[in-house]
Structure 1
Amino acid sequence: MGLLRIVISRLLAMLMFGEGLVCAVAALVSHGGRVSARADILTHFAPFWLAGALVVVGYALLLAPKTLRTVFLTVGGVGVMAAGALVLPELIRPMTPRAPASAPNQLKLVQFNVWGRNADLAQTAQWIVDQDADIVVIEEASPAVRDAILLRRAYHVVCGDCQVMIFSKLKPLDSGAPASPAGLPRPPIAQGTYRNAGGQFTVLGAHYTWPTQGSLQQQQGRRLAWVLDHYSKDAMILAGDFNSTPWSFSRRREDRLFGLERRTKALFSWPAGEVSRQRIKVPFPFLPIDHVYAGKQWRTVSVERGPALGSDHFPVIVTLARTP
């Protein structure tokens, strides 16, 4: 038993050192995302680097041999500091004070990537209708998705044959985004302008490519920012699947570039349930990639994540109140 204990102890030490080294190096390289789209891919997994490094620090304090404690504390500590520097800004990001639940001029919005391989389209459409939302922004939409929703409720639809659709109780006053400027690839975008008791406002929905195509994704971000500049931002709402987390440098740059406040804060929305063609089950979401932005005339009443439906994304439900 003594020999077995020694072997297990050494194997555990090797495992912890390897884990700490991987997390520390990955977190440090992630900071290269400031200048490199490829390095920025690693930032999306910053919570993993942070959690892994914390485990190593815990091992150093509780179980590591005294002669190696400093080594493990150093490796784990570097990982904690490097990864924490990526995650912490989102957690402490200042937000506009919320409006009370009784605030007037409220608008309820559902943002949802329904997934092209949705496993239960009928249940998904029924849930969307049951929310009684004023605005529904759908990504990976299709005629089948559109028809399933309209079968259950007579919404007005913007871009009814597009990958991104906007459903609304209000009839749009205007729709359609400006043509793409030269050199900037356009992500799927839908735009609708509406008027309610609080006044006129513009809603845009967007869907970016994956972060593995980092350069293309960043170009799409610049293209979307160019589109946003064509409308009044004070009462604007932007929602979509941006395929980027709030600890990525791409998302931080766009937060500043858009001139809107992101109302979702570290809201983990992917994956939900079964993902990939192999239908792999994931127990919990670990990437916050679905976001809702709003202009300064909107105050947030509530932000919540919806249930797992037939998609690989969770829906996001945001209620806003318009201020004078």
Structure 2
Amino acid sequence: MSTLESILIGYALFITVISFIHLIRIDYWWIRIWDFPHLQLTILSGIGLLAWAVFSRNTEWPMVLAMTGLLAALLYEGWLIYPFTPLHRKQVRYIRRPKDGRKESNLIRILNANVFMDNTHCPDVLKLVDKYQPDVVLILEGNERWREALEPLQGDYPHRILHPLENTYGMLFYSRLPIQYHEVRFLIQDDIPSIYAQLKLDSGQVVHFYGIHPMPPSPTEHYRSTERDAELLVIGKEVRKQKEPVIVSGDLNDVAWSHTTRLFQRVSGLLDPRIGRGLYNTFHAQYFMFRWPLDHIFVSHHFKLRRIRRLPNCGSDHFPILITLAYAPEPVVKEAPKPEKDDLEEAAEIIERADSNG
């Protein structure tokens, strides 16, 4: 066996292991980080198989075993990514503009932007808001400097929930729509806020809005994912009881295909507008090859989608995301996720584990 083939076997073993290691239900960061790069691992698996076909074609058992692992990884990664391609059925249906051009009273346009607390491109964010005219602006990582820089928004956004913090978890919420009721809540960690607001559309319909930004598992943030997962699932269980329309928006510090995010969807019953449309990778804005969807907007079955788009970067490590939704409920939605097997028990266990170690 040549040196090149030995390298190829080692490469295949490494890619295969990191492709499947996230299936181990351990919440330490060095396991959970492998939830993220599945798009990249799909490409790397394909490169390994292509290298074998071009440079080796060795059919001895070590090589065949290694290539079988790569093929299994490629198929598995493809299965994870597939729902976020146009080949998959859309989870949130599209709704057209009315042909007569009449003003719509059931629309809500949301701009979700993790601005990166140390970012100095504040005027660029103001320009973005001015250009796209969202009804709701959720700013994540907003501190006091960002609050002051965004004061020009206050004229157009009379309804505000401002909770600046210096720990990269501050939230600044601006709304043209009236806020009937709101809370700044600390669901799991004392220094990680989330926002709950009841918004009133022009039609009079009330929408329950949740803005969240849990702490990620990483060597610089938190050694485990339990607290992040628990915050998502606390909201998921709360949303599950809601009968009125719901929107959950924010930087979840988790990817759309992870076990936790899919569990959150099944527990909450919320829909992902990206399914059947695209990944809309929002992080990392500076590195093309290291991007995945960290910023999310989930909606209840009451909504249809007018448009979703990733906006230009404004100096942050995240791209903003803009979505236009129409309140247009249907009595039955086949695509709505539902709990499977022990989902509710698993959610309760994660929340209890976070509470017991809080």
Residue of structure 1 equivalent to 2:353: none
Change (3 A) 1:287 1:233: farther
Of residues 160, 163, 169, the one that matches 1:161 is 163
> Does 1:204 pair with 2:210?
yes
Matched to 1:320, the amino acid is: L
Contact 2:185/2:194 (CA < 8 Å) preserved in 1?
no
Q: Give SS of 2:111's match.
A: strand
Residue by residue, what CA displacement relative to the aligned partner does 1:252-282 show, whole Å, maximum 9, x if unpaired?
Answer: 1111122211223422100112xxxxxxxx2
1:172 lines up with 2:197 in the alignment: no
Matched, 1:313 2:318: yes
SS in 1 for 2:297: strand
SS in 2 for 1:160: strand
Identical columns (%): 18
1:218 partner amino acid:
D
| Residue 273 of structure 2 is aligned to residue 263 of structure 1 | yes
Q: Is the 8 A contact 2:185 2:196 kept in 1?
A: no
- Aligned to 2:251, which of 235, 238, 241? 241
Count residues in correspondence.
Answer: 302
**Structure 1 pair 200/150, CA: closer, same or farther in 2 (3 Å)?**
same
TM-score (norm 2): 0.76
State the secondary structure of the residue aligned to 1:129: helix
Equivalent residue of 1:308, what SS? coil
Contact 2:283 2:318 survives alignment (8 Å): yes
Unaligned 5+ residue runs, structure 1?
1-8, 274-281
295 and 67 in structure 1: CA distance in 2 versus 1, 3 angstrom threshold:
closer
Residue from 96, 103, 122 that aligns with 1:100: 96
Distance 1:116 1:93, change over 3 A: farther
Structure 2, gaps ≥5 residues long? 165-169, 219-223, 330-358
CA shift, 1:159, in A, is 2.6
Query: Aligned letter for 1:95?
Result: Q
TM-score when normalising by structure 1? 0.83
Partner of 2:235: 224
Please, which of 271, 281, 288 is the counterpart of residue 283 of structure 1? 288
- For 1:259, the aligned partner's letter is G
Give 1:38-53 correspondences, 5 Å limit.
38=28, 39-53=31-45
Is the alpha carbon distance of 1:156 and 1:18 closer, same or farther for their aligned partners in structure 2, counting shifts above 3 Å? Answer: farther
- How much has 1:140 moved relative to structure 2? 0.6
Query: Alpha-carbon deviation of 1:56?
Result: 1.1
Q: Is the 8 A contact 1:20 1:79 kept in 2?
A: no
2:25 maps to 1:15:
no
SS in 2 for 1:313: coil
Pick the aligned partner of 2:67 from 65, 73, 84.
Answer: 73
